[in-house]
Every structure is written in structure tokens, then in C-alpha cells.
Amino acid sequence: MPETVSAEHAAGLIKSRMWLDYGAALCQPDVFDRALAARKEELENVKIRSCLSMRPRAVIEEDREGRHFHMFSWHFSGYDRRKHDAGRCNYVPLNLGEVPDYYRRFLEAPDVAILKTCRMDEGGYFNFGPTNLWLRAVVERSKMVIVETNREMPYAFGKENGVHLRDVDYVIEGDDQSGAELPNPDPSEIDKTVARRIAAEIEDGSCLQIGIGGMPNAVCSLLLETGVKDLGIHTEMMTDGIGLLYRSGRVTGSRKTLDPGKVAYTFALGSHALYATMNRNPDMYCHQVDYTNSPYIIMQNEKAVSINNTTQVDLQGQVASESDGQRHLSGTGGQLQFVRGAYASKGGKSFICLSSTYEKHGERKSRIVFSLTPGNIVTTPRSDVMYLVTEYGMVNLKGKSVAERAKGIIELAHPDFREGLEREVYEYRLIPRHVSFEHRNDEAEDEG
């Protein structure tokens, strides 16, 4: 049986130069984090892996100069991004669905894993709640496992979505805070326009992946205005938009090949209403991320539909979703894996959506550019992009030449920027001046 100890006792087990693992999202510990921060003067070079920090991390806040603790993140939240800008958090490039394999094959084993969980259930398991991801691999590889229990953690059904007491060394009683919420601002008119275009492409029985952000979530709201039915869900992140669709009765999962009747996901972030919908809900199934995000798995459900945001696209179709030049914003996440999996699905479609412009320092700028901002990271290569969507239209890039792509993407840009983009594509010969895209009428020519 694991020993129940105070947070201060558990923090006292940490030594300088150890590798710790804080898990991800709702599973990140709080009372242990505060207790460890209180020991900062006794420690140096303690390295912590984490992902999507939803609350300030005491070890970072109490160590302003970074002399004691260092954070490494698999994907940035807004908090992680601010700490990266301050030099306190470093990003690890990845495809999110590969992370369990990184732990098992490439990473130095964590000295201590500290994970927030549900209280132990009748089977002796500490359930991870709606955050499965790579936590089983963390438990397998860690030299010591500490769980911080929380009465408010939603209990989520799923394969290996928890750790058995035999694999736990110490238990801390947590502070029973409710799960941190991810704000969901109301969709803008541009969000709604883009969402309508995508919603019109979704058929009965489609199996959806919805990414983070206003536009993908707006698609869920707009689907309520259509007659589409028997939707399935196979996604990385459970969002409030998916929760809304589920509660409306549009999601049945009856036509899914894998996990029929189940909403399949690997982690959830959203409102308390979403967490309540998921708590002990047998329709919801929390898988490990190497299952949800594997293109080979994704493609096995017919009519897989992937919907994701981006921040910049160039005229060849390269999609940059995670940085602003050298400034890192979020991460690759599962975007590329779902783009590939949806395309390979029978009848599948992948959509990358964006607003045509944004405001910076009071100036309107185009998200559609001739070439990406220097330093920008390509999240989805031009060879993988299927549908691009803005408020001005939609274009399918599959099978299109560079010149055809450039012409189609310019038509998605804000009208104020189209002339400048056209000038650049001709100047740099992306579109040769003699090329015409008018389709020949062969019958008419033959008759002539």
C-alpha cells in the first residue's frame, strides 16, 4: 500500500538535478507544487516536464531568476507562452501522438512523477480524470510515483486511464479545487462565416476531430442549425463545442468503425459544464494519445473530418500554426497527424481555417502571405493540406500545381491585400505570365 504523506514530506524527497514530471492540463499538481517551491533555496537545476499549465506554477513564480527550477513543455497554454517569453519555459517539438513512445524509447526516465488524480476507486485505481495522454508511459518509466488526489476531478472511463495503488509510492491529499476552466469567447462574425462553410461540408455519420479555438468550436454550434445526424467523435481534445453537440443528441457514434457509440478523446479542457457532462459518463472514453492521434487509427473511421485553426498560410499552402517568427505560441499538437488521418479515411476531409486578417499595433495585417514570417514554424506542409477556409471562401489544394494554389489562396485573402499578393506571385514566377487557368471546352473546339 502506498503511504499517505503531507505535501511537505513529498517535496522533501526531491533532490537537486532530478527530472520531475507534472503530467498535463488538469493532472498537474498544486499542493505539491507549492510545497516544492518553498524548498527552492535548498535545490538547484530541478527539471520539470509539463504540458498546458492551466494555473500558475509556484516553482516558476517563486523562482523569478530561474536558479532552481526549469520547465519543459510539450504544448503551451497562455501561461506557458508568457513564461517562455520570460525565458522560464522551453518547448519540446513533437507530434503529440508520439509522446508515449518518446518516454519509452528516448527520454531520460523521470526520477519522480507527481500527478493529480481522482481519489482511489473501488478497484484500487487512481483515475487520471479526463487527461489520459501519455500518463501511463510516465508511470511506467518513473522511478517514483506520487499522486495528489482531488475530490473534484471528473472521473473518466477509458483504457488504462489511471494508476493502480501497487504502482504508487506516496499519496498526497489535495486541496480539492475545481478543474481550471478554459475560456470560450463567443464566436465572431468571421468565425461564424468560416464555420458555415465547413458545416456545409459535413455529412451524416461523419466522425469529427475539433481543434482548440473559436472557429472549430463555432462549427459545432453551426451544426446545430443543420439536419446533420449520427455524428461520431474521435478527437484529441474534448471541447465545449463537442460537449454541446453531444448534449443536443447529434452525436451517436453509431456509424463509427472504432469505439462505436463512444466519444473517443485523450484530454479535455473547457468549462465546468463540460467536466460535469464527462464525469462518470459511459458514452465518453478517454484513450491514450498514441491511439487517438495515430493516422492509422484515425483513418479507420469512415468520413473522418479534421477541423483546425492556423495563424498564417503562404501562397504555396504551407501552414504555420505555432509561432510568430521566433516567438513560440503553442505547439504542433495533433494537427498534422489528424490532417493525415482524415485525408486517408474513406470519404474523409481535413480543414485548416483562419481569418484573413488580424490587428497588430493598430495595423491590419494579412494572415495570407507570399512567404511566411522569417522564423515561422511550418506545422502542416503544403503537401498535406486539403481544404483551406477563410471568410472569403474555401479551396481544396489536393492535386493543384503551385500556380493553381497561389491563385486559389489569393482568392481567400482580404480584398485589400489581393493586388499586392498577385504582384508578388508574378514577380517571383509562382504564376508564369502566360499561364491560364481557364478550362478548355474540348467539345466546342472539336466542333469548331
Residues annotated as catalytic are: 236
- Grid cell digits, residue 319: 501552414
- How many whole angstroms separate alpha carbon 300 and alpha carbon 287? 16
C-alpha distances (whole Å) from 266 to each of 42, 219, 287, 350 are: 37, 20, 5, 20
What is the residue-wise DSSP string for 95-136?
-GGGHHHHHHHTSPPPSEEEEEEPPP-TTSEEE--SB-BTHH
- Grid cell digits, residue 436: 491560364
For 36, the 3-state DSSP assignment is: helix
Task: Indicate the helix (H) or strand (E) that contains 146.
Answer: strand 145-149
8 Å CB contact between 97 and 108: no
Can you say whether residue 52 is alpha, beta or left, with left for phi > 0 and alpha for psi between -120 and 50 degrees?
Answer: left
C-alpha distances (whole Å) from 327 to each of 233, 360, 373, 375 are: 33, 15, 11, 8
- Between vectors from CA 213 to CA 208 and to CA 216, what angle results, nearest 5°? 30
- Grid cell digits, residue 100: 508515449
- How many whole angstroms separate alpha carbon 431 and alpha carbon 305? 31
Q: Kindly give the residue spans of alpha helices, DSSP state H, lying in 253-363.
A: 272-278, 289-292, 295-298, 335-344
- How many whole angstroms separate alpha carbon 157 and alpha carbon 20? 27
- How many whole angstroms separate alpha carbon 14 and alpha carbon 49? 15
204: nearest Cα among 220, 175, 228? 228
8 Å CB contact between 169 and 2: yes
Burial of 10 (0-12, 13-18, 19+ CB in 10 A): buried
